[in-house]
Homo-oligomer: A and B are copies of this chain.
Amino acid sequence: MKVVCIGSGNVATHFSTAIAAAGMELVQVWSQSQEHAEVLADLLGATAISDKANIDLHADLYLIAVKDDAIPEMAALLAGVNGLVLHTSGATDLDVFPAAMKNYGVLYPLQTFSRTKALDFSKVPLCLEAKDETILSTLKNIALQLSPLVYEVNSPQRRILHLAAVFACNFSNHLYAIGQEILEKNQLDFEILRPLILETAEKVQHAFPRDVQTGPAIRHDEQTLLKHKELLTGMPELQVIYETLSKSIKKTV
């Protein structure tokens, strides 16, 4: 199976590495920047290209892992190929592909990737959608070589997943950052908070979050809520966040 990777960012890097590890042959890495393409291509024994005209049009699989607004152009460019063309975006519908294209689909990894942190790809949920059932079946076979966590998700559901991920991942991370900010203002090290953050996430791996909610808001502990409001004096933005989320937690009882 010959694979061309379009893109050289976080998602492209982690996907290409997993693809190579699964025994598929990465033949080309394309990036607007030849230098960036080379970093990834050299790592995996592929050819680095930055000229779109040099993209091999006879590969079996094309993985488009570029910024969302660059996907339509790359999809159009590959309109005539026989290979399977996939994009990897949570916020982009299936119909970004030209209807006349033979084989296309979506392979969306619901995970947060960092260049600096190694990731066990078998822990990455892969959300699949394809032009038709036959292609979906092919796509599923490919996906299962990368991760056992494979889900069928259509375009409207993928938008919802992306939204839920913003709450559960992006917003949670921002709350960690606020925790750090509060600690540092009081000469306390973020280090002390790290085990609690990890345990909070581990707790919901086998339970539902609403069943393990703790803290003053769920206990309707008005005295502590008031004390915390006082501690946040001079930080009006954090007060608003504190009140908004506490109010929402109280309503869940």
**Which positions in A face B, CB cutoff 8 Å?**
68, 91, 110-112, 114, 116-117, 119, 123-125, 127, 149, 151, 153, 156-157, 159-180, 182-183, 186-188, 190, 192-210, 212-218, 224, 227-228, 231-232, 237-238, 240-242, 244-245, 248-249, 251-252
22 examples of A-B residue contacts, CB within 8 angstroms: A91-B224, A110-B196, A112-B214, A125-B192, A159-B231, A163-B232, A164-B183, A165-B193, A165-B196, A166-B217, A168-B197, A169-B196, A170-B213, A170-B217, A170-B249, A172-B175, A174-B245, A174-B252, A176-B209, A180-B208, A194-B205, A240-B244
Number of copies: 2
Distance between Cα atoms of A178 and B245 in the complex (Å): 11
Do residues B237 and A203 form an inter-chain contact, with CB atoms below 8 A? no
Do residues B163 and A231 form an inter-chain contact, with CB atoms below 8 A? yes
Looking at A160, A170, A173, A237, the one whose CB has the most chain B CB atoms below 10 A away is A173
Q: Which residue of B lies closest to A201 (CB)?
A: B201
